[in-house]
Structure 1
Amino acid sequence: MRIRSVALLSLSALLLAQLTPALAAPPPSEFGTDYDDPRTPAPAVAVPDTKHCQVEIVRHGFRNFDPYQSTYTPPTACQGPWSKVVLRMHGAVKGVQYDRLGHITIGGVGVFRTSTPEPSADGIAWDVEKDVTSYAPLLTKPQPVVMELGNVVNETYTGVLDITVTLDFYTTSRRVPAAKTANVVLPLQDQRREESDLIGTATLPRNTTRLVGEVYVTGSGGGCEEFWDTSAPAETGYSCPDGSPYREVDVSIDGKPAGIALPYPYIYTGGWSNPYSWRPSPAPRAFDIKPLAYDLTPFAGLLTDGKPHEFRVHVNGVPAGQSGWFTVPNLHVWTDAHRSQTRGALTSYAVAPLTKTDQVSTGSVSTKASRTLKISGYVDTSAGRIRTTVQRTLRNTSEHTWTEGETKDSLDANWRDTSIVTSGGKVELTDLDYGKKGLLTFLPNATVPGGYDVVTDLKIHDTIRTTHGLTKETYDGRASWIYNVPRDQRHATGTQTVRFQSLGANGCYDHTLQAVNGIYTKDLHRC
């Protein structure tokens, strides 16, 4: 892409094909000084009908790169255990500002990562919800809170990011039990970086029975690794010559590969050289950046000796000496309530090398890649010997072509990350299937000297299949604007359709939002 810097509470099934009357006014012919507050079609977090309490952990206007710090104190009126804990963020910004990336840690553990929308001159506000019940073990005692949301405010970039974040705690009842979570959630200690790797240690409880790692990871920072999925080898002449577009996030324990995963190709609200593509709705996952998950239980029995063990997060495919990847790992640990010491071993281990081909020529890169992992182990617990087998399969295909000068730049890429975990006779499937197909054109404007018409056509799909259900989120949009002119002469236009569908324990959910030139024109619920 040539211009890099421009960059559940389920609804009732009775709401069949309902069009919100408030959206009846015709949209403007092009973007003006304001657009609708950003929304996504995703459902609200499903919460129980029990007593709940709210604790505020962030209230701050971010204008620089200083982190905000506070102290979390558990709610005295809603003491645990809890049935649900929900993080809710409200943001507001006006003026001129780029999209920014934010992250929250509680007790050193990463619990939330987000990107912000680019504002209108008149100002926007938006809300994000995240189910953070899995972090409940952290929240039983006071903890330090840190939110980082680096921002620049000056005469040109005037937007201050006003952010409020709360935690809502939902109690239990006779009908609503406490949530089932890990017993301990740990950050890595003594963290250090070696190029794109993050290394740290963790000392696990001696009675560990299960271990799941998670990594919040994004290619970011405005450099080429923010657009890693369009990278190309230097010999192609492409403007981001960071080698093959394949990236993989690997976890090793004491030097032994233990987990593999594909990163998600996030698009922030200035991405694909067209901020108007993301007004008012962002790309899937942009407001709630999800961590990658790794079931490391086959190794658990080797880590219960009370000693620190080294964990390394490695981003495979990043050129030597290149930076631009953000990684925050956590460990979720389950323990044995009836035994002070557990032990175990690996019983089989097969981590295949990466299989990858890049067909490279001037103006094109065609990539196919795959990798597999299968690891088994056991832990001897008070309930007997628990055997766990983790299988993971990664697949990526990518077709990237461009014309001379990158006046036309197209991408058709797909990722598939499938995990099957068999433990204690139970099988858990997680199948991630996502991709993007788009074309960016950058051509001289016929009437404006020095101006360029930037046009983006893009489709995104994001499907998650699990043992318990399915979710699917899609984006389909087209936007255009004139580059290299004053803001009030951009004559930007854009249409977008975003849709979220799910089917599972909470029933059927299907929500579509359509917008024209920044104004929502359809809000449709089905099911």
Structure 2
Amino acid sequence: MSWTLPAVQARSGRNLAHVLPVLLLLIAATHTVLALELPRSASPHIAKRLALDLELHLGVSNANGSDELVLADLDLTTSQVAVEAGAKSAPAGPLRNFEVNVPPRVLPQIQSLTSCSVDLIYRSFNNSYGNPSVFSYSPSLLGPKCADPSKWTSIVLTQQGASQGRQFDRLGSVAIGNPSSNGPVEIWRTDNAEPTLAGVTWLTRKDVSQYFSLFKQSGSTMIFDYPNVVDGTYTGALNITLSMTVYQPKTTATKSRSTRSRQQVHLLAREHHPDQLSNEERGLNLIIGPPAPLSDRSPDLIYALSGTNHNLSTSALSLIGAGVQGPANSASSSLSTTITSFPINAARAIVEVYASGTAQDEFWYSNVPSSLAEQVPGAADLGLYGGGPYREVQVRIDGVLAGIISPYAVIFTGGIQPLLWRPESAFGAYNQPTYLVDITPFIGTLTDSKPHTFDLLVQSADRNGSYPQGWFLSGNLQVVLDSSSARTTGQLISTPSKSSYLPYPTLTTTGKVTGNLSKNGTLTATVRTSKGAPRTISVVGEVKTGSMKAAARYTWTQSFDYRSDLVQNATVSTSKQTASGSSTLTASAKNASQSFPLYAQSFSFPINTLSAYDGQFLNGSVQHSYETKLASLDALLEPWLGTNNKKGGGGAKLGLPLAQKISTSQVASAYSMFNGTGGVVGGAGITSQKYSYADSNLFTFDRQTSVNDRTITQDTVSGTLASKADPVR
């Protein structure tokens, strides 16, 4: 059975074959919650429908070990796959899909912990647009053994899902809130495995210990949202169980690191690093002591930044983008939230942001500058969307720019081409990364018992900052209280200039269009920061808490470098992007010349994509990396700051380790083969990934995987958390 390409027409009347050169980059151009618009959409939307058919008939996976934008190691010949071979060679039964990521950072045996688990909800998400699951939550759900949150040391959520049929990837969300949280706080943004006719399953977990102040309260509400459509065309329901596990000491008296037995030390070394830690000295360096209770190392208060129209019966997802209407709430150009009760004795505060590009901005990193898109007749029919490839999420407080975010390009499980992600998803698909902006310099201006407005918005490098629809944003405000109940005071010393609110003055856009892109023309574009002139912002504020002997001056500084090179012609489309930067919070005594770092984070998010169509093969490759480094030194500087906080520094209370590093790189390649009449007759994919995690709490996790045509050919795991790795088979 083959799927005949000429039978599908775009809304413009143009045959889909005319847009195949850009099909791979735009195969999921309308994502998740906008799927209701698919039957009325233009060619990129139908392209994603084609991708679903490719997967249903062939379904495979990915990878390419080359550092170049080529399809090295993938032999694109007709002998590689026979007609319908993908379907015939697929493993029997549902395919287990997985994402390589660090497991929850807990070792019950080593740390002398016990646990309790509860299934919070099971639901088959069918026609669930605007109909999230809303249910009551209380610590008592864990049973009498674990009903006392003051003993908890970790909180882990787990999703186990299954689906069968024809369906898109969908944007899922878990949120929790109570009357004092200012609305639902999103705590997990996720995606389902895109199903096949034979069915798929997936399991994913997230450590949500940082949200302890919400989980410890009775009378809270949880919201589990997976907008989905099931009809005669899209038949796959999403059957998902959401469960919760908490950990606590086995006894009230826990052992300190100095009293741990030599037997326990060697058990850890022997089980988790046998090749690297073969002697007592190395083993002793890996002592992992019992964790402190979450009440000592999580924010005191958390407020939702999910918009003024949200309540505890609605999803935490908010769609922004001019003129966009979605199933969450009507979209606007920014997400605005008013906090009416900011605590008067706040000592530290950060904003955490969830950000996902969807619809025409799902592949924002391959969008072309608007000035060039306007030169191409029927650009949308060719899959060319404007706004350029640069995106920046901004946090503004009372209209003042407080911080910027360079988002990681999360590729959903059906993104670019589904054959890339079977069974291994792109990093971040099941557990999307979040981003932190430290707003401690603002604290002295927020403790005046007056309402304050927090805005989240997206900007491009176009002159007016515009971009296509649409982004799903949410955030939360995490606050650490001072040990004194006295009012915190202070003022802003300096803030970013108004000219820095739009990115384009510090990013240069060049490019040109030659010829007819649907025939022999070419579009090239480069968007970049200038060498030695990164995009930077700085905020300086003076803060004095009740426990401080004197005021301190806090400085939040960010510096980002960026470059994107795009090439588009009738048969090949490539994008090559590098994004890197750093964010630092420093503190100094008033009028002092020397400052000390309290928090520092750096990132690097490169991504390269290629797609090509020669009339017989539809080829695509992705190469992307995620690397972050974090350091939080508050606890070491508490005596210098004179805050005398008995429970440790603000960084410790924000759940930040002294140091943490995450590094992963993934390469993927896939192809689909057509016969002379446009029928799909074969396809395959390969993938490989290297992942590494380490932190100052001595938790480490390393995993290397390879997949060839849906068969796992390598899975090597090591590190202190190796025994807790999620299964891939």
Common fold by TM > 0.5: yes
Question: What residue is the counterpart of 2:274 in the other structure?
Answer: none
Question: What residue is the counterpart of 2:65 in the other structure?
Answer: none
Q: Counterparts of 1:485 and 1:382 in 2: how far apart (Å)?
A: 77
1:408 counterpart = 2:575:
no
1:427 counterpart = 2:564:
no
Structure 2 counterpart of 1:46, one-letter code: R
Question: What residue is the counterpart of 2:687 in the other structure?
Answer: 496
RMSD, aligned α-carbons: 2.5
Q: Counterparts of 2:479 and 2:415 in 1: how far apart (Å)?
A: 37
Question: What residue is the counterpart of 1:268 in the other structure?
Answer: 412
1:216 counterpart = 2:354:
yes
Question: What residue is the counterpart of 1:201 in the other structure?
Answer: 338
> Structure 1 residues 87 and 508 mapped into 2: Cα distance closer, same or farther (>3 Å)?
closer
Shift of 1:375: 1.4
* Equivalent residues of 1:224, 1:240 under 8 A apart: no
Structure 1 counterpart of 2:686, one-letter code: T
Shift of 1:53: 1.8
Shift of 1:490: 4.1
Shift of 1:442: 2.2
Residue deviations 1:16-65 (CA, integer Å, cap 9, x gap): xxxxxxxxxxx998532645411233231121421222233331010121
Q: Counterparts of 1:495 and 1:61 in 2: how far apart (Å)?
A: 31
Question: What residue is the counterpart of 2:104 in the other structure?
Answer: 45
Residue 296 of structure 1 is aligned with which of 422, 426, 439?
439
Q: Counterparts of 2:429 and 2:467 in 1: how far apart (Å)?
A: 27
Structure 2 counterpart of 1:45, one-letter code: P
Residue deviations 1:147-201 (CA, integer Å, cap 9, x gap): 2211111222211101111221112452431130110011136248663311110
Question: What residue is the counterpart of 1:190 in the other structure?
Answer: 308
* Equivalent residues of 1:393, 1:419 under 8 A apart: yes
Question: What residue is the counterpart of 1:440 in the other structure?
Answer: 611
Structure 2 counterpart of 1:190, one-letter code: T
Question: What residue is the counterpart of 1:137 in the other structure?
Answer: 213
Q: How does 1:136-285 map to 2 (within 5 A)?
A: 136-141=212-217, 142-172=219-249, 173=252, 174=254, 175-179=290-294, 180-188=297-305, 190-191=308-309, 195-203=332-340, 204-220=342-358, 223-232=359-368, 233=370, 234-237=373-376, 238=379, 239-272=383-416, 274-285=417-428
Structure 1 counterpart of 2:668, one-letter code: G
Residue deviations 1:187-241 (CA, integer Å, cap 9, x gap): 1362486633111101311111111111111111xx2111111111223535323
Count of equivalent residues: 496
Residue 70 of structure 1 is aligned with which of 120, 128, 135?
135
User: Higher helix share goes to which structure?
Assistant: 2
User: Per the alignment, in what secondary structure is the counterpart of residue 444 of structure 1?
Assistant: coil
Per mean C-alpha deviation after superposition, the further-off stretch among 506-515 and 301-310 is 506-515
Structure 1 counterpart of 2:292, one-letter code: P
Q: Counterparts of 2:401 and 2:352 in 1: how far apart (Å)?
A: 15
Question: What residue is the counterpart of 1:449 in the other structure?
Answer: none
* Equivalent residues of 1:219, 1:324 under 8 A apart: yes
Q: How does 1:317-328 map to 2 (within 5 A)?
A: 317=460, 320=466, 322-328=468-474
Residue deviations 1:46-103 (CA, integer Å, cap 9, x gap): 2142122223333101012121111111134321122111111111111211111111
* Equivalent residues of 1:195, 1:321 under 8 A apart: no
Structure 2 counterpart of 1:374, one-letter code: S
In the alignment, structure 1 segments of 5+ residues that lack a partner are: 8-26, 446-452
Residue 469 of structure 1 is aligned with which of 644, 660, 665?
660
Question: What residue is the counterpart of 1:23 in the other structure?
Answer: none
Shift of 1:330: 0.8
Larger Rg: 2
Residue deviations 1:111-152 (CA, integer Å, cap 9, x gap): 010111211222121111111111000012221111221111
Question: What residue is the counterpart of 1:522 in the other structure?
Answer: 714
User: Per the alignment, in what secondary structure is the counterpart of residue 448 of structure 2?
Assistant: coil
Q: Counterparts of 1:213 and 1:486 in 2: how far apart (Å)?
A: 54
> Structure 1 residues 321 and 219 mapped into 2: Cα distance closer, same or farther (>3 Å)?
closer
Shift of 1:431: 0.7
Shift of 1:263: 1.5
Q: TM-score, normalised by structure 1?
A: 0.88
Residue 483 of structure 2 is aligned with which of 337, 343, 364?
337
Residue deviations 1:423-472 (CA, integer Å, cap 9, x gap): 47443221110111121012312xxxxxxx31112211111122213221
> Structure 1 residues 147 and 487 mapped into 2: Cα distance closer, same or farther (>3 Å)?
farther
Shift of 1:328: 0.7
> Structure 1 residues 508 and 338 mapped into 2: Cα distance closer, same or farther (>3 Å)?
closer
Structure 2 counterpart of 1:80, one-letter code: P
User: Per the alignment, in what secondary structure is the counterpart of residue 583 of structure 2?
Assistant: strand
Q: Counterparts of 1:486 and 1:112 in 2: how far apart (Å)?
A: 45
Residue deviations 1:283-307 (CA, integer Å, cap 9, x gap): 1111101222110110011001122
Question: What residue is the counterpart of 1:32 in the other structure?
Answer: 87
